[in-house]
Structure 1
Amino acid sequence: MKKQFVVFMIIFLGLSWACSKDEDNLLPVIEPDDSGVFTDAEGREFSWVRYGNLEWMTTNLNIEASVGSEISHEGTRDPIKLETEKEQNYVTFGYLYTYEAAKEVVPEGWRIPTDNDWQELEKAMGMSANELNVSSWRGVSEGTLLQQTEGTKMNLRMGGMGEYDGYGNFSPYFSYVYGFYWTSTPEAEGSNYYYCRQISYKSGQIARVVVDKSKMLSVRCVRDAR
C-alpha cells in the first residue's frame, strides 16, 4: 500500500510540474521597450525598464528612511538568525515604508507611481480597460508577468507588509506570500487610505486595494520616459 502511495505521489507531482510548465508556456511574451541603469547622487545604481511613456525601477526601493522604514522578517528571539534573515530579505525585498517615509527617500527625478501609472503598466501587460478601476483582484496573468526576472523584467517581489504597534514595535507579516506596493493616489481627497497593488505567490492576478498610509509597504519607483 505504501509503495502504491509513493508511485501515486510521483505521478501526481510529475503531472503538476508538467501543468505548471504548460501554464508558463501559455503566458504572453512581453518585453520592455527599453532598459538602462540610473545612478543617483550617492553612486547607487538602479536598473529600469520602459513601458510606454514610463520607466520603472526593476528592484524595490532599498534606501533607509530616517523613520518609518523597516526590513521584513519573521519573528525570532535569536539575534543571529534575525540579522541573517534581515540581510537576506533586504537584498530580496528592499525596505518596507510608510507612505510618508517613502516620499522622503525616492531618488531625485523619480516618484511613487500614481494609481494611473500602475494602470498603464497593467494595460501593457494585457489587462482589459473594464478591469482597471475594479477594487479587487483583476486580470488573468498580469501579476505573474510582473514577477518575471526575464520577459517583462519587472521582478515584483512578495515582501509582505508591516506596521508599528502601540508600543513602537515593528510587526511584519505576509512576507513570501503577498507583495504590497504603494501608489501616491489617495482613495479620496484628504483620506488616510491610499491605493496600492497586491500580488500573490498563488495567483496570476493583481489586486487594486486601499491601505492606511501608516502601514509599511514596498515601493517601486517610476519616472516619465527620457
Structure 2
Amino acid sequence: MKKFTFIFTIIILGLVTMAQTPQGINYQAVARNVDGGPIINQDISVKISILAQSASGDVVYSEAHSVTTNNMGLFRLEIGNPGLVLTGTFEDIPWGVADYFIKLELDENSGTNYQLMGVSQLLSVPYSLNSGSLTLTDENGNAHNVSVDTSGNLFATIIWKCGLPITDNRDGQTYETVQIDEQCWMADNLAYLPTVSPSSQGNNTNPYYYVFNYQGTNVAVAKATDNYQNYGALYNWPASLVACPAGWHLPTDAEWTALTDYLGGTSVAGGKMKSTRTEPDPHPRWYNPNTGATNSSSFSGLPGGGRGIGTNGLFLHLGYYGFFWSSTKDSMIDAWYLLLESDSDDATMSYYTMGFGFSVRCLRD
C-alpha cells in the first residue's frame, strides 16, 4: 500500500547574540507533493501556528506567507517577520512557561485551503543559542532530537504520519485518523455534503447525499442538525465512490476484509471496531447492549443508520447499526458493505442495492 507523506526539511538559524532572545527565525524548506516530488517554481501559501499545551491546543501565534519555490522546490521565509499576522504577537510568546507545538500547513495553489503538514512538540526552548537541542515529537510519540551546531543551526525533518488529524480542504472538516496494521483509516464518519436530498429521492445511478432524518434540500440547515454533527452524512453508492478527499479512497471489499482479519476475524472484529459510547452517553452513541464493544482498534465505529429505498424512502436504524460502503460491486445493482451491530460483536460483509444511503469511512491511498 502506498504510504502518504509530506516531507519538510527545516533549517532554523540563530539571529541574535547569546544573551538575547531572537525576534525571528530564518526558515527554509523543500515542499513536496503527495508523490514525494518537489513542488518547483510555484507560488504557494504557507501557514505556521504555535500551539500551547498540546498538538490540539490553543493557537498563541499564527502567521501566513506567500512564497515561491525554486527549481528544487525550496522556499524561504522568516518566522516572526511575516507577511500577515493571523493571531497573537511573536515577541510575547512566553516560551519558558508551557509546552509548545509547531503546526505547519500549506496550500500549493497559493490560496487559503491549507493542508496539514505536521504538528511537532518543542520540548526545549527553541530559539536561544544556549538551548542545545530541539526535540520534535509527532502524535504517535516518535521523537527526533536535533543538535545545535557551532553556528547555531538546527536541522530537522517533519513527516505527517497517520494518527494526526487531517483537514478536508473542500469544506474545512477535520477528521481523526488511526493506523491499524498497514492501513490508515479515518476514525470519524465522513461528513462531506455538497448537496442534500430528502429520503424520498434517490436511485442506483446518480450520486445522492443524505443526513439522517433531514427531509429538506438546504445544505446549511442539514449541517446544523445534531445527526449530521454526530454521525456525518449518508451516501448512496454512486456518491460514496467520489466522496473521499484527495489522497483517500472508499475501501474495497478486500480492504475491509484485511482489517477484520487483522482484528481476529469477523466474529470478534466488530467489538474491537465499535465505539464504546452507549446510551445514556450523549450522541454519538450506540443503543444497548453494544455487545462486546472495546474499540481496542481505535476505529471508533458509529451507528449512523441508513436511508432505505422504496416509494417514499425511510431513514432507519440510527443507534443500532453502522453500515459502511465498500467500492466493490456484487452485481449491476448491488454493492458490498460492512455492517456493525449493537447486539453483536461481529463485523459482517454483505451486499445491498446501490440506492441505499450508508456511512463512509475513507482509507488512505
* Interval containing the TM-score (normalised by the shorter chain): 0.5 to 0.7
Amino acid at match of 1:36: L
Q: 1:69 maps to what in 2?
A: 209
Deviations 1:37-78 (A, max 9, x none): 112224332111112221100001101143511111399xxx
How many residues align? The count is 171
Deviations 1:62-121 (A, max 9, x none): 01143511111399xxxxxxx89x722112211110011122321011110001111111
Report % sequence identity.
Answer: 24
How far apart, CA to CA, are the structure 2 residues paired with 1:95 and 1:39? 16
Q: 2:271 maps to what in 1?
A: 144
Q: TM-score, normalised by structure 2?
A: 0.43
Secondary structure at the aligned position of 1:176 is classed as coil
Deviation at 1:34, TM superposition (A): 5.1
8 Å Cα contact 2:275/2:302 also seen in 1: no
Secondary structure at the aligned position of 1:204 is classed as coil
Q: 1:209 maps to what in 2?
A: 350
8 Å Cα contact 1:65/1:105 also seen in 2: no
How far apart, CA to CA, are the structure 2 residues paired with 1:103 and 1:53? 22
How far apart, CA to CA, are the structure 1 residues paired with 2:319 and 2:305? 7
Deviation at 1:218, TM superposition (A): 0.4
Structure 2 spans left out of the alignment, 5+ residues: 1-160, 196-206, 216-220, 277-294
Q: 2:169 maps to what in 1?
A: 41
Q: 2:125 maps to what in 1?
A: none
How far apart, CA to CA, are the structure 2 residues paired with 1:98 and 1:173? 14
**Higher RCO structure, 1 or 2 (CA under 8 Å, sep 6+):** 1
1:153 to 275, 298, 307: 298
- Alignment RMSD (CA, Å): 2.7
Matched, 1:50 2:50: no
Matches within 5 A, 1:48-197: 48-66=177-195, 68-73=208-213, 87-127=225-265, 138-139=266-267, 141-148=268-275, 151-166=296-311, 169-188=312-331, 191-197=332-338
Structure with a larger share of its residues in strand: 2
Structure 1 spans left out of the alignment, 5+ residues: 1-32, 76-82, 128-137
8 Å Cα contact 1:176/1:201 also seen in 2: yes
Structure whose CA Rg is larger: 2
Q: 1:22 maps to what in 2?
A: none
How far apart, CA to CA, are the structure 1 residues paired with 2:165 and 2:324? 21
How far apart, CA to CA, are the structure 2 residues paired with 1:113 and 1:104? 12
Structure with a larger share of its residues in helix: 1
Q: TM-score, normalised by structure 1?
A: 0.68
Q: Give the direction of change, closer, same or farther, for the CA distance of 1:65–1:103 in structure 2 (3 Å limit).
A: farther
